[in-house]
Structure 1
Amino acid sequence: MDDVDYVEYEDYAPSNETEIYSNLTQLVTFSTSQSSLTYVLVTTNIIISVVGLGGNSLVIWICGWKMKTTVITTWYISLAISDLLFCVFLPLDVFYMLTSHWPFGQILCKLSSSALFLNMYSSVFLLVLISADRCVMALFPVWSHNHRRVPKAFRVVVLMWILSALLTLPSLIFRKTTVHGSVTQCHTDYGGHSKHKAVALTRFICGFLIPFQIIVSCSLVLGVKLRSLTIKSTKPYKIMAALILSFFFCWVPYHTFVLLELDLKNHSVEVQRTGLRVGTTLAAANSFISPLLYVFIGNDFKRTLRRSLTSGIEEAMAEDFRTGGLSHSKSKSMEVI
């Protein structure tokens, strides 16, 4: 799922016995701390997987079947699908994190790693679409009313998924499995530092830097425009702001340590390793934050969810009452007989 397992250590060989002893001591301490960290990260990833699968499925159900289909629900359903796909593969990475053994084959090795980056690209591109859409609605309300249509939004989402898939191709190409005795590793082999650098910079620029510049620009324009408008509810804008902030704080640590990895000679390998593991887990956390934001911030979503659950319970009780009444009638008729 991450870049931890293929950091290049060849240039860090000890030069004398004192350095070897010092490195061994540091290695024991590092291994102990890494073991404790592994359990924390595994627990966190299990929570992310469970909440992410349930929460995003709930968002897809509510927005797709219980709410009116609009351009906004189209964006949010796509975002939930992106997060759900990642959460489906996350248990495989949890198993690998615990055992350091990958028994699932090379295809799932490639797909599991690709799921994280597909989620990264699709999420940030959808945030760009949501931000631009809100900005256009505020600046050009008449044009938006006449031209914002669900079929157009759907076509844009399809193009977004195609672009995200193309940018995710390096994970499918360079990810592979290697067998060492009875242990199989799932790792990335770029075959050279130049390819590694090109992929890392592409991910940072296309998956973070440029999209966030667009998002921030749209947010600033929208903020200035909203001051001059009288809006009944600011909840949709609060959701948008929360989604942007959560994506930013979840992905900044990962991209920071990936860029630092390109210059390992000037940084501690242990710190780099730990940073990448923590950064990857924070990136994964972004996939379950979105549904929580809808539940706690979105009034329309909460009302629809409450209404859907209430009607579901009422239907179940009514069915139980009908079944019970039927059984009661049958028993009475048997008594008469």
Structure 2
Amino acid sequence: MNDISKSSPASGLTFSPNMDSVTWVYFSVTFLAMVTCVLGMAGNSVVTWLLSFRVQRSPFCVYVLNLAVADLLFLFCMASMLSLETGLLLPASTSTKIYEGVRRIKYFAYTAGLSLLTAISTQRCLSVLFPIWYKCHRPQHLSAAVCGVLWVLALLMNFLASFFCVQFWHPSKELCFMMDMVVSGIILGLFMPIMILSSTILLIRVRKNTLLRRRRPRRLFVVILASVFVFLTCSLPLGFYWFFLYWEELPQNVVSLYVCLSRFSSCLSSSANPVIYFLVGSQKSHRLQDSLGAVLGRALRDEPEPEGRETPSMCINDEV
């Protein structure tokens, strides 16, 4: 990786006048990923601003605010990495160290986003399975405390991986990568099963209640299930890339295509949540003049909707 302006550190592909089809596909998908990052950063910035200043925060609004920040950080790091790989920001003499630093921050944001989405689906599942405990005995600031713990945990895991890479980078690159693989294994082996299990239980309960009561599910249920589905569909390939490609001796072209496609899909995942919020919040709403804050508040409202009329436009502020 001596010249990032001429080659991609992750792909091993180079710019040349006679690029083959694989190289064209790689840089085309990379361009789409860059566009997606820009749009996703705009969407998550709007969500962050609205939840910080315009919408009263319920427990789940606190989670969504932290998830939007994690997605925003991930997309910024991904866009920076893509820019560095194509030589858009810095000369090669200084870009290598910065590239590695941005990559580490991207891992941190990915870990934080995964853990926060797991916490959202788990707490929503607990509120359905144990409604009395959730309404009467849940600690008042549970959401904020859980978010703080998850941010610290993600920081510690990624700091540990970075420490091993800094200490042993020159003697053994394999040891550094194996440390990354261990951290990725913990993420995929702990957070992913909890997210899948809680989301499955939530889906079953929502489906059952919908059939029995013949009423549409709460919008918050739809938001959580849609966000989890998009994450599992689009972001898992990036986690599998970190974990499995270390063991497989695959052709460079195959690895390069998997890298660019997994990056693009992970950018889609981090960019999709704002779209989900506003689509669900505006569903069957005839008030086209509603502000973005009102639409977002309806999407994240943790209360059943009265029959025959729209719900209020704000989240209930029971967290403060």
> Which one of the candidate residues 104, 118, 121 is aligned to 2:108?
118
Which of these residues, 230, 235, 248, is aligned with residue 219 of structure 2?
A: 235
Scaled by the length of structure 2, what TM-score is found?
A: 0.73
1:95-142 residue CA offsets vs partner (Å, 9 max, x unmatched): 222229546556633431123212221111111111111111111112
Instruction: Answer yes or no: is the 8 Å Cα contact 1:38–1:98 preserved in 2.
Output: no
Residue 308 of structure 1 corresponds to: 291
User: Match of 1:5, as an amino acid?
Assistant: P
Three-state SS of the structure 2 residue aligned to 1:307 is coil
Q: Which residue of structure 2 lines up, in the alignment, with residue 5 of structure 1?
A: 9
The aligned counterpart of 1:245 is 229
Question: What amino acid does structure 2 have at the position aligned with 1:55?
Answer: G
1:99 and 1:257 map into 2 onto residues whose CA distance is 24
1:295 to 253, 278, 285: 278
How far did residue 211 of structure 1 move?
1.5
| 1:196 has 2:177 as partner | yes
- Tell me how far 1:197 sits from its aligned partner: 2.8
1: CA distance between counterparts of 2:54 and 2:244?
Answer: 46
In the alignment, the residues of structure 2 paired with residue 99 and residue 75 of structure 1 have an alpha-carbon distance, to the nearest angstrom, of: 36
Q: Mapping of 1:59-78 within 5 angstroms?
A: 59-78=47-66
Residue 256, structure 1, aligned to residue 244, structure 2: no
How far is 1:263 from its partner?
Answer: 2.8
Aligned to 2:159: 169
CA distance in 1, matches of 2:260, 2:115: 24
Contact 2:161 2:176 in 1 (8 A): no
What is the DSSP-based 3-state SS (H/G/I as helix, E as strand, rest coil) of the residue aligned with 2:172? Answer: coil
CA distance in 1, matches of 2:242, 2:119: 26
Give the alignment's TM-score, normalised by structure 1. Answer: 0.70
Cα pair distance change 1:207/1:260, threshold 3 Å: closer
Q: 1:299 Cα deviation (Å)?
A: 4.1
Confirm or deny that 1:44 pairs with 2:15. no
Write the letter of the residue equivalent to 2:238: Y
Q: How many residues end up aligned between the 2 structures?
A: 276
Q: 1:214 aligns with which of 191, 194, 206?
A: 194
- 1:66 touches 1:308 (CA, 8 Å); kept in 2? no
- 2-structure distance, mates of 1:156, 1:289: 23
Q: Against the structure 1 CA distance between its residues 220 and 88, is the aligned structure 2 distance closer, same or farther, given a 3 Å change threshold? A: closer
Q: CA deviation at 1:194?
A: 4.2
Name the counterpart of 1:88.
76
* Cα 1:270/1:309, change in 2 over 3 Å: closer
Contact preservation (8 Å) 1:124, 1:211: yes
Measured in 2, the distance between the counterparts of 1:33 and 1:174 equals 38
Unaligned runs of 5+ in 1: 10-27, 177-187, 312-337
Shift of 1:220: 2.7
Distance between the aligned counterparts of 1:161 and 1:304, measured in 2? 37
Q: Distance in 1 between matches of 2:261 and 2:293?
A: 40
Q: Whose radius of gyration is greater, 1 or 2? A: 1
Q: Relative to 1, partners in 2 of residues 1:285 and 1:191: Cα closer, same or farther, differing over 3 Å?
A: farther
TM-superposed deviation, 1:309: 5.8
Query: Using the alignment, how far apart are the partners of 2:113 and 2:202 within structure 1?
Result: 20
Asked if structure 2 preserves the Cα contact closer than 8 Å seen for 1:86 and 1:116, the reply is yes
Moved more, 118-127 or 205-214: 205-214
Q: What residue number does 2:145 align with?
A: 155
CA contact (8 A) 2:108 2:155 kept: yes
**CA distance in 2 between partners of 1:145 and 1:280 (Å):** 40
Given the superposition, is the C-alpha separation of residues 190 and 272 from structure 1 closer, same or farther in structure 2, using an over 3 Å criterion? farther
Deviation at 1:264, TM superposition (A): 4.0
Task: Decide whether aligned partners of structure 1 residues 70 and 103 sit closer, same or farther in structure 2, where only a CA change above 3 A counts.
Answer: farther
Structure with the higher fraction of residues in helix conformation = 1
The C-alpha deviation readout for 1:269-315, integer Å capped at 9, x for no partner, is: 32123212321232233221111111112349x8999533699xxxx
CA RMSD of aligned residues (A): 3.5
Residues 11-32 of structure 1: per-residue CA shift (max 9 Å, x gap): xxxxxxxxxxxxxxxxx99952
